[in-house]
Amino acid sequence: MQNETLPGSGLSIGIIMDGNGRWAKKRGLPRTMGHKKGAEVFMDIGRYCSDIGVESVFFYAFSTENWIRPADEVSGIMRLFGEYLIKAFDYKKDNIRLKFLGDRSRLPAEYQARMQELEEGSADRTGMTLNICMNYGGRDEIAHAARTLAAKVQAGELRPEEIDVERMSGAMYTAGQKDPDFILRPSGEKRLSNFMLWQAAYSELIELDKLWPDFTRADLDAAIAEFNRRSRRFGGV
Ligand code: FPP
């Protein structure tokens, strides 16, 4: 149930969890330790988003390009993700719906099965939707949507001239969800890095000079306050 008086009420937020590697390097630790701390912050901020009434949140956990990282770093992130897939069964009491966005075909079969179980088991919940973008790429998502619609055309279920923005949106992994009101990127970088390219058309970009493992609930409050000060015109005046 959405409570209109909460600070995050009705908001859709995208979060690029950046800076884990630098956080670890600054402490002389292996990069995987930065991801471990980043995963703890992700757990806490996910719950906090739900507590403050956020409608949907999208966390960028692993991109279609991240496979080129050193093998031990990739396996470290996958291990953290696997641990999360077990912990996430606890979301029942928070009424959180879970969704995984991205191409799962490259993930281990047991992960794919758990992801499906978590999505199906939480589909009827009425609280926040927590989206995890795993092996996700914005360009890959757009290509996937194009293939889905092309197959419908080939099957005679759709005419090419019927393909419009609404149908494209409906063929994205985010079908039925609100586009992000703002996308938050800690670590001082000012790039989308292939995150939600279709959905970010009118998202406000909020960057923060702090690394993701140092990100706090107060930083999210500050980002929401910053978003509320922005004037959005959606192409109008
Ligand atoms: C970007 O920081 C971060 C990632 C590529 C991985 C994010 C993964 C997690 C927070 C944990 C796993 C996810 C779940 C859902 C449990 P970077 O490594 O590029 O940082 P840098 O720019 O400082 O090197």
Q: State both tokens at 184.
A: 């938050």
Active site residues: 18, 66
Predicted pLDDT at 32? 97
Predicted pLDDT at 81? 97
| CATH number for 83 | 3.40.1180.10
CA of residue 35 to ligand 1 center, whole Å: 5
Atom of ligand 1 nearest to the CA of 80: 16
Residue 95 in any domain: the answer is yes
Residue whose CA is at the smallest distance from ligand 1 atom 16? 81
Domain hosting residue 116, numbered range: 3-137+178-228
The answer, yes or no, to whether any atom of ligand 1 lies below 6 A from the CB of 193, is no
Cα–Cα distance for residue pair 232/236, rounded to 1 Å? 9
Q: Please, which contacts does 200-209 make with residues 24 or more away whose CB atoms are closer than 8 Å?
A: 200/14, 200/138, 202/232, 202/234, 202/235, 203/14, 203/179, 204/230, 204/232, 206/182, 208/184
Residue whose CA is at the smallest distance from ligand 1 atom 20? 19
Residue 50 in any domain: the answer is yes
Query: What's the domain count of the chain?
Result: 1
The answer, yes or no, to whether any atom of ligand 1 lies below 6 A from the CB of 196, is no
Residue 71 in any domain: the answer is yes
Residue 172 in any domain: the answer is no
Predicted pLDDT at 170? 98
Residue whose CA is at the smallest distance from ligand 1 atom 3? 18
pLDDT, tens digit, 9 for 90 and up, residues 135-162: 999 999 999 999 999 999 999 999 999 9
Predicted pLDDT at 133? 98
Q: Which residues of the chain have pLDDT under 70?
A: 1-3
Name the 3-class secondary structure at 151. helix
Residue 31 in any domain: the answer is yes
CA of residue 125 to ligand 1 center, whole Å: 28
The answer, yes or no, to whether any atom of ligand 1 lies below 6 A from the CB of 60, is no
The answer, yes or no, to whether any atom of ligand 1 lies below 6 A from the CB of 58, is no
Cβ-contact 53, 97 below 8 angstroms: no
